Structures are given as C-alpha cells and as structure tokens.
Amino acid sequence: MSRRLTAAALLLLGLAGAGPAGGQTPAPPTEGLRHLAAGRDLWIGAAVAYAPTAFPTDSRYVNTLAREFNVLVAENVMKWQTIRRDGRASWRFQFGDELVAFAQSHGMRVRGHVLAWHSGIPSWLARASFSREEAIALLEEHIARVVGRWKGRIWAWDVVNEAIADGPAGSRRSPQESVWERWIGEDWIDVAFRAAAAADPDALLFYNDYNIEAPFSAKQNAVYNLIAGLQARGVPIHGVGFQGHFVLGQTPSKAALMASMDRFAALGLIVQVTELDIRMSPPITPAKLAQQAEESRRVVEACLEHPACDTVVLWGIDDGHSWRAGGAPLLFDARLEPKPAYFAVREALAGRPGRL
C-alpha cells in the first residue's frame, strides 16, 4: 500500500472533516486509526492493561482497542514479574495467551515485551544469587520457553530493555541495579538475543530503551555502540525501539526524531516507537492538550516520513489506565473519549496538515 492517500481517497473514506472544528470535540469515529495507518504502511498499537477495569472485561476498553489499533503489546503480563511470579518452576502464561488469541482474532500483530530487563522481575529472582553459568541457563531457559510458547504468533520481541543507564556517561546499568549484569556480565545481552533467535527464527528482535530519541545524546550514542557491537559479533538483532516516554514541551522535534532514526537506519535496523506517551503536569488545560496534540502529531509524522520507521505504539489506550495517569499522557481520556491528541494523530495518518 502507498504511504500517501490521494485527496479523492480521503473523500471516499469520509475523512475530510474528521478533525475538530471550532473547539468542539467531534464524535468518535466508527473507523479507527488502524484503517488510516494501514493506508500509510504504518502499524499503530497500544499497550494493554490486563486488569478488572480494562482487558478483557471492560467492553468499552476492549472495543476501543480493537477499533483503533492493529498492534497489541502486553503492558505487564509477558514480563518476568507476571510469568515467573511464583517461582522458578511455575509458569503463568494464561494472560498472555488470552492477549495473543485476541490479537489473532482481531487482525492485530503482537509485540512481545519483554525478555530481559533489570526491572519487572519477581522478588524471588531479585533476592537470588546465581553463578554465571546458572544465570545463563536460567535466562536461556526463560527465553526458550516464553518465545517458544508464542512462536510464529509474536511479530517482534523486545529482547533486551533499558540496558544503558541514564546520565552523561552513557554507561551500562551497574551490577547492583541489574541482576543480569551482576550474575552474567556484559555478554548477557548477546546471550538473550541468541536465545530469542534460536527459539523463533522468524520473530523480529529489538533492543528497546528510553531517552534515546534525541540525536547524539550520550545515552543514544551508547545504545548505538552497543548495537554496532552486537552486529560485529554476529548477534542477531533487527530493530531498535524508541520508547518515547516524553514530557510535554520536551518532545524532540520532528527533525531531531528523524535524525535519530537515520543513525539506526544506517545500521540496517528497523525503528519502532514502542511506548509513546506525553505527560503533562497538572492542571490539565486546553492549551496543554493542544500542545500535546501537536507533539503527538510530530512523532507520528516523523515515523510516517522515515522509511526505517514502521510502527508507533502508545503506552496505553486511555489516561485512566496509564502508568502516568496523573499526567494525562495518552490519546483517550479516562472516560475513553478521544482527546485533541487523538484527532491530531488521525490527521497525521490521513496525511492532512495540522490545524489544531
């Protein structure tokens, strides 16, 4: 499909008047973002909160997910903290199974999140002590079993998450902070990627991190060097995830985002925006919501316009279920009504200039 829709096609799709007019919030569309995204060769996704008030029981939440998005990520239920909560010998796959089945029956792709991360681990693991050999075996066993469980049904895996520390040094997370650094040492990342590739040779394998979206920051440089090192050693990796946890007013410009994508594209990688949210400090005002709309539009446009970028995933559907709920960072409000940011993303996907 073409990246561009003609004006005639837009009229046929009935999108010519989809944006807000005169400050009024239009009714939610019956056809979601995913239809527009498909016409632009872009995948648009959301992280799914598995909770009594969300998936799978809240029908408005579930309907919004199915209508708007064609990529689904488990916000928490594919992490160690969920799958391995009860100990080394116990595996809790039922929540992930349900999400994967939902995605399949609704024509959605699944991003798997996450196989190796210093955070999101169960307390038994955090308190444990393993030799290097034992830890390698544990990590390999986990990855083989989890990736194997959904082999062929998970499009892309976040294999390694957030291995680089914040700050100007661009160093790895410390052994105190990361059990994998502590037990295995630097090459735990190689171990994780090789294990994932062995378990599902067709899955796309990603390194995923935050604060790497601005070009030539120390952290971005460190991630770039880390990935270049993996490639030099023949470790399989296909993409880099820009998490995109932004603060209103600090979202990088479109040019900056695209310059960052250029760097990783030059390594032959796919770039995906994997956890987009743009949080504001209270109070939530119309002016801030309008600014959030512009910044959301900018991120989607950068991805649309960069040939290496094929996916934008929001880190949640609505503000009520966001991990940054107080910052109103998403496209829908807590009542699941679309916000100005929703309409801005819609316009970007429709290829129309900004008017908000």
> Judged by CB, which is closer to ligand XIL: 275, or 333?
275
Within 266-285, the residues that bind ligand XIL by CB under 6 A are: 275
The first and second tokens of residue 240, run together, are 């880099």
Query: How many Cα atoms sit within 13 Å of 325 on the Cβ side?
Result: 8
> Nearest-CA neighbor of 331 among 298, 281, 293, 294?
293
Question: Contact letters (x/-) for ligand XIL, 208-227, by CB under 6 A?
Answer: --------------------
Task: Name the amino acid, one letter, at 70.
Answer: N
Can you list the alpha helix ranges (DSSP code H) found in 14-120?
A: 33-39, 59-68, 80-83, 94-105
Within 62-91, the residues that bind ligand XIL by CB under 6 A are: 75-76
Cα gap 267→256, rounded to integer Å = 18
Within 109-128, the residues that bind ligand XIL by CB under 6 A are: 120
> Judged by CB, which is closer to ligand XIL: 68, or 75?
75
Catalytic residue among 68, 181, 213, 275: 275
Residue 67 Cβ vs ligand XIL, minimum distance, rounded to whole Å: 22
8 Å CB contact between 84 and 143? no
With binding defined as CB under 6 A, does residue 323 bind ligand XIL?
yes
Residue 75 Cβ vs ligand XIL, minimum distance, rounded to whole Å: 5
> Judged by CB, which is closer to ligand XIL: 39, or 244?
244
Cα gap 306→97, rounded to integer Å = 33
Residue 74 Cβ vs ligand XIL, minimum distance, rounded to whole Å: 9
Cα gap 293→339, rounded to integer Å = 8
| Terminal CA-CA length for the chain | 28
Tell me if residue 275 is catalytic: yes
Question: Contact letters (x/-) for ligand XIL, 228-247, by CB under 6 A?
Answer: ---------------x----
Residue 271 Cβ vs ligand XIL, minimum distance, rounded to whole Å: 16
Q: CA angle, corner 42, sides to 238 and 164, nearest 5?
A: 40
The neighbour count for residue 198, using CB atoms within 10 Å, is 14
Residues 6+ apart with CB under 8 A from 153: 100, 103, 104, 110
The first and second tokens of residue 98, run together, are 């349900």
Tell me if residue 177 is catalytic: no
Residue 25 Cβ vs ligand XIL, minimum distance, rounded to whole Å: 27
Residue with tokens 């902070």: 177
Residue 203 Cβ vs ligand XIL, minimum distance, rounded to whole Å: 18
In Å, how far from its chain's centre is CA 163? 16
8 Å CB contact between 158 and 113? yes
How many residues touch ligand XIL under the rule CB under 6 A: the total is: 7
Binding site for ligand XIL (CB under 6 A): 75-76, 120, 161, 243, 275, 323
Q: Which residues are marked as active site?
A: 162, 275
